[in-house]
């Protein structure tokens, strides 16, 4: 157990007779300042003073950040989570905050009582206008939220967004998901539920606080998509799925999820960019490259698997990763899996129990002058049948410019097996490839 484990700090009980931790902001007299100086000189972390830090939420957040960076096209992306926790740590932020608030209330209450007593003898009523004498405004009308507002999107989506608590062998994670069907199918990220894939446990927490267990229906690490099914439920409120192929940079979006176990958190932003090749789930190789939607809506560890929605309340992406140069929280660069790709994968999982990956049957690398260079070509593969050869450099796929290998891989995976794509080579020649499909194998 490490020194910065907040669960360890929270469970510590001071020795009998240990003085309470002074609160420098609440104390005002000279004796209180002396207590504060003694605390600063060595109390924190000693046998005499073993109290949680004065900013428990910050320390708790440190435990939830991912640790496996990867670099794609100049971006270091981190999986959003799920947040790392344990059964003892669940709910801790609330307890710590409550404890600190109670300490401040008790100290401040005593000082306030004395001050109030003195003021009672000297207070004089002023005739100047005073805001405290103004009557409170009437309560706002409780009608429907304005159409197209963040409030309206939250009102529509929150009943369909869930928190997922995952327990595996030696690990405990939390993330988000959203309801696809009234009988319990839920879409989320593979990296949220992966820990429960070999005998673990998943608990679904609905927006009203009700809980039930869930099982994994199927998952696809290559696209970071998973489907789970809540047990013993019916009549659930489902999301409305939108489209991601007609998104525009600059349009407003809303994210909903459970960052740091704060279920039902709503944030808003815009689509910052489209077609960003990033690696899903923090794997750091081409096996999980996705063609992501970039957004500046605040998303953090625990938002993984939650919806990114347009202003009609339609889900257009699944929040999956953030760019975090110092392994910190949100810096305004988040990534979501486009719903068009996620929808196809989820449909295959529900119908067949597994997903199908689009491929061309050739390795690719970064060309020195830009583009993706074809490496080994498998015999009988779509790439060979189309006439692609080792050493060919692809600079465009249909109308999309290909800057590197990850861009080509991501572009291919956004398409369905059987579709045709035109590859433009660096020498100006074009090759038409009929994209193949193969079942995703999960260990």
Tell me the catalytic residues.
191, 224, 304
Cis previous bond, 431, omega within 30 = no
CA distance 49 to 45: 6
The secondary structure of residue 132, as a DSSP letter, is G
CA distance 360 to 423: 11
Under 8 Å between Cβ of 311 and 146: no
Under 8 Å between Cβ of 272 and 183: no
Hey, what are 105's tokens?
A: 């209330």
CA distance 27 to 60: 26
Under 8 Å between Cβ of 332 and 271: no
Under 8 Å between Cβ of 306 and 259: no
Spatial neighbors of 96 by CB under 8 A, at least 6 apart, are: 6, 10, 52, 56, 57, 60
Which 3 state secondary structure label does DSSP give 307?
strand
Hey, what are 26's tokens?
A: 């609440």
CA distance 322 to 328: 10
Which residue's structure tokens are 């910190």?
A: 328
Phi/psi of residue 237, each to 5°? Answer: -85, 120
Helix, strand, coil abundance in the chain, percent, nearest 5: 25, 30, 40
């Amino acid at each position: 157990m490490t020194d910065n484990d907040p669960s360890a700090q929270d469970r510590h009980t001071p020795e009998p007779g240990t003085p309470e931790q002074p609160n420098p902001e609440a104390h005002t007299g000279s004796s209180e300042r002396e207590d504060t100086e003694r605390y600063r000189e060595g109390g924190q972390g000693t046998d005499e003073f073993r109290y949680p830090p004065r900013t428990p939420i910050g320390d708790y957040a440190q435990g939830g950040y991912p640790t496996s960076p990867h670099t794609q096209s100049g971006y270091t992306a981190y999986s959003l989570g799920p947040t790392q926790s344990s059964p003892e740590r669940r709910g801790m932020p609330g307890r710590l905050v409550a404890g600190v608030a109670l300490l401040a209330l008790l100290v401040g209450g005593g000082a306030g009582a004395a001050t109030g007593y003195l003021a009672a003898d000297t207070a004089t009523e002023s005739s100047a206008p005073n805001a405290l004498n103004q009557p409170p405004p009437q309560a706002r009308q409780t009608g429907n939220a304005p159409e197209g507002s963040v409030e309206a999107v939250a009102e529509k989506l929150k009943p369909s967004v869930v928190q997922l608590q995952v327990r595996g062998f030696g690990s405990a994670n939390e993330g988000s998901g959203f309801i696809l069907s009234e009988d319990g199918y839920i879409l989320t990220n593979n990296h949220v539920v992966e820990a429960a894939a070999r005998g673990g446990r998943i608990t679904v927490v609905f927006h009203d606080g009700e809980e039930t267990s869930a099982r994994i229906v199927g998952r696809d690490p290559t696209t970071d998509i998973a489907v789970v099914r809540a047990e013993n439920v019916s009549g659930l409120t489902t999301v409305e799925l939108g489209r991601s192929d007609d998104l525009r940079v600059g349009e407003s979006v809303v994210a909903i999820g459970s960052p740091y176990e704060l279920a039902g958190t709503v944030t808003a932003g815009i689509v910052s960019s489209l077609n960003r090749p990033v690696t899903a789930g923090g794997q750091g190789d081409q096996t999980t490259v996705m063609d992501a939607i970039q957004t500046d809506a605040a998303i953090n560890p625990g938002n993984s698997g939650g919806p990114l929605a347009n202003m009609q309340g339609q889900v257009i992406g699944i929040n999956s990763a953030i760019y975090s140069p110092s392994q910190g929280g949100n810096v305004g660069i988040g990534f979501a899996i486009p719903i068009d790709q996620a929808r196809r994968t989820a449909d295959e999982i529900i119908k067949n129990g597994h997903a199908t990956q689009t491929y061309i049957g050739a390795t690719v690398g970064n060309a020195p002058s830009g583009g993706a260079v074809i490496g080994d070509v498998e015999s009988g593969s779509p790439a060979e049948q189309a006439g692609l050869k080792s050493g060919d450099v692809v600079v465009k796929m249909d109308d999309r410019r290909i800057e590197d290998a990850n861009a080509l891989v991501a572009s291919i995976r956004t398409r369905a097996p059987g579709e045709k794509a035109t590859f433009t080579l660096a020498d100006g020649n074009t090759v038409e490839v009929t994209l193949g499909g193969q079942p995703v194998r999960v260990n």
